[in-house]
Homo-oligomer: A and B are copies of this chain.
Amino acid sequence: MREIQEGRWAEGARFPSDQELTSRLGVSRMTVRQAVSELVNDGFLRRDHGKGTFVTRPRALRRFWTVISFTEEMRSRGLEVQNKLLGVRRVIPPGPIRKALRLGPGERVLQIRRIRAVHGQPIAYNVSNIPLSRCPDLDRCDLEEDSLYLIIQNRYGYRITRGDRAYRAAKPSRAEAALLGVAPGDSVLVVEGATFVDREVPIDYCYEVYRE
């Protein structure tokens, strides 16, 4: 009973209710719901409790926020994210990071090390480096609770406009393997790069290791 397909419905149009499909197709309601659920999962329909079922444009497959922010990417997939703070320090960054952030020789950054977990399983190890001159007293915020980029935008009034990322497959260091719960020989995905606000001002240089 899978003959319900997308027949060029207009976006936002009302889709037949469970009851209507049940009687029209002569199948039981559980069967209807299962078929409709597939279309909902594929992003063609949206159910509103008490209101009805509606045709929706298939959700965008990539959006600026979902590629730039780990938290947003996971949420867009309907997964809950836990951030575990490993450490927060004010440090003078190494040369390449200083360069990428366009900082003067003595300027310090806030180095934030975190483990991102989904369903309690560690997924990624993340190090962010944020210039203190651009986000003063960032270490007074609740960095464990919510999206770092949300804080940067809401508390400091920046607008994040661009993200540069380099992707490569690699072997984790011993410490990274231990943090992610993988074998040292396993392959991991390393993502690295700067995030920019407003007029091309770098606000973060992040280094991430994803379990693969």
Copies in the complex: 2
A74 interface contact, C-beta 8 A: yes
CB-CB under 8 A from A73, the residues of chain B are: 61
State whether the Cβ of A119 lies closer than 8 Å to any Cβ in chain B: yes
Query: Shortest CB–CB separation between residue A62 and chain B, in angstroms?
Result: 5
Residue ID in chain B nearest A162 by CB atoms: B168
0/1 string, A111-124, CB within 8 A of B gives 1:
00000001111011
CB nearest neighbor in B for A77: B61
Are A62 and B161 closer than 8 Å at their CB atoms? no
Instruction: Determine if B62 and A119 form an interchain contact, defined as CB atoms under 8 angstroms apart.
Output: no
CA distance A62 to B169 in the complex (A): 11
**CB of A6 closer than 8 Å to a CB of B:** yes
- Residue in chain B with minimal CB distance to A123: B61
- Name A residues whose Cβ lies closer than 8 Å to a Cβ of B: 6, 30, 41-42, 44, 58, 60-64, 67-68, 73-74, 77, 79, 118-121, 123-124, 161-169, 187, 189, 191, 210-212
